[in-house]
Structure 1
Amino acid sequence: MRDWNGATSNGVLAALAPGDLERLRPHLEPVELPLRMRLAAANRPIEHVYFPESGIASIVTGVGHDIPIEVGIIGREGFVNLPVVTGADRSPNEAFMQSPGQGHRIGAERLRAAMEASPGLTRVLLHFVHVFMMQTASTVLANGRASIPERLARWLLMAHDRVDGDTLHSTHQFLSIMLGVRRSSVSTSLRDFEARKVISRRRGSVSISDRDGLVALARGYYGTAERELERLYATSAKLR
């Protein structure tokens, strides 16, 4: 990747005061984020915090069980490895790239030192921790009360928020693992969505045809965390 000139599509970096961005800039390393790249291993010290410019990271829990389940996703609106910001050095969760992209990373200790020197930087970073907590809370609500089609619609909207264009590259098997449901249930729901003309499908991908229709199918389970992001970051971290 080319040396960074300071321009960014990452919402958290864009929300920083100029002085805080300059404080981080010498330590922000441009990185490729290929598919399946592990950004954090369960119960291992976190070495870097990642600020994606593109791509989607998946945060999963239940590592050590046969099939982990996704608890949240993060793209260019935020950063990956939140425990560093809260003072922890590791987590029982894992983070990996479910959709490839690019971004910047900074050493965990470098970021902690910058936070100690700047309350403003700390506030901006903690705002995203709050947003991700709201996303996780919404996931718990959806997993406990929503139907599989409602959960799937929510997930597709969240992924759509974090990519350019309308096509999501994901298999039925991957979606079933992330949602913690049977592959056949995902396939049935996607067929129904296609019949309703809110999506179209090809092998290994789903294209969003009618976003408003998909929002309606999510039946209120999508939007809470997204509104918090917009409220706290105004336009800098806005999803769509």
Structure 2
Amino acid sequence: MEKTKSIGRRSPKNNRLLAKLNESLYAKLLPELEIVSLPRDCDIYHHTKKIDFIYFPISSIIAMVRVLENGASPEVAAIGNDGLVGANLFMGSTDILTNKVIVQSAGFAYRVKATTAQKLFDAEADFRELVLQYIHSLFVQSSQLAVCNRFHNIDQQVCRFLLTSLDRWSTNRISLTHQRIADLLGVRRAGVSEVSASLARAGYIKYHRGCVTVLNREALESRVCECYQVIKTELDALLK
């Protein structure tokens, strides 16, 4: 994890949650923010096992995964420029042991010390309300993913995964292998490869060496299950 300088397009307001802060709150938080580069597969709380920083991604996507006894690690929530990482802190716990928090797609994030974020949460009603609303959206996302993984076919799940990734990404290219997508969805790699090949033949995506390029977003939206819209609607209502 590398510290870097904030420049131009790496504004903190590229995080939609930070952009929702009123000017007074934003001015209080801005001097405390530090930009960091997050490499893919980085476990951001690996060393401390505690929430020592709150992260606000601007061009990275973070996956919260639950590691099972058999080694599987399905995704229980994904966070990009639409939210913050470390929400447990605001529910009275700095413990992160129940989930791994890994970088799904490399990029940049701003971070603030957990102690600073907690003080702001305790002192500022507007910040507290925004954070609690976001935590509610995380609950909606996690519960909807559970429904999706249980009741919807792999074609729908892959389309939902690609679309939600695009919503948190600045381009139509997603750097993820079939194996990583399969791991996050909790399905077999062969199933993801079959769906990817089908979508590529239809001209909806292009896949090459671990990079998915979405060519026809509307077509993916026509194939996805309702879970995508439920998650998107919840976040859009919060961040509009």
Instruction: Give the TM-score of the pair, scaled to structure 2.
Output: 0.92
Kept in 1, the 8 Å contact 2:59–2:107? The answer is yes
Instruction: Give unmatched runs, 5+ long, in structure 1.
Output: 235-240
Q: Percent identity?
A: 26
Tell me what 1:176 maps to. Answer: 182
Tell me what 2:221 maps to. Answer: 215
- Partners of 2:151 and 2:211 lie apart in 1 by 27
Q: Which runs of 4+ in 1 moved over 4 A?
A: 3-7
Which residue type is aligned with residue 232 of structure 1?
L
SS in 2 for 1:223: helix
Aligned length: 234
- Partners of 1:231 and 1:223 lie apart in 2 by 12
Which residue type is aligned with residue 83 of structure 2?
G
Which of 59, 64, 71 lines up with 1:66 in the alignment? 71
Which of 174, 198, 203 lines up with 1:197 in the alignment? 203
Instruction: Give unmatched runs, 5+ long, in structure 2.
Output: none
The answer to whether structure 1 residue 49 and structure 2 residue 57 are counterparts is: no
- The root-mean-square deviation of aligned C-alpha atoms, in Å, is 1.8
Kept in 1, the 8 Å contact 2:56–2:111? The answer is yes
Kept in 1, the 8 Å contact 2:157–2:225? The answer is no
SS in 2 for 1:38: coil
Which residue type is aligned with residue 164 of structure 1?
S
Tell me what 2:35 maps to. Answer: 30
The answer to whether structure 1 residue 149 and structure 2 residue 155 are counterparts is: yes
- Partners of 1:228 and 1:213 lie apart in 2 by 22
What per-residue deviation string (whole Å, max 9, x for no partner) do you get for residues 194-238 of structure 1? 12221111121111111111011113221112111111221xxxx
Which residue type is aligned with residue 140 of structure 2?
M
Kept in 1, the 8 Å contact 2:12–2:18? The answer is no
Kept in 2, the 8 Å contact 1:29–1:105? The answer is yes
What per-residue deviation string (whole Å, max 9, x for no partner) do you get for residues 137-188 of structure 1? 1101101100011111100111111112211111111111111111111111
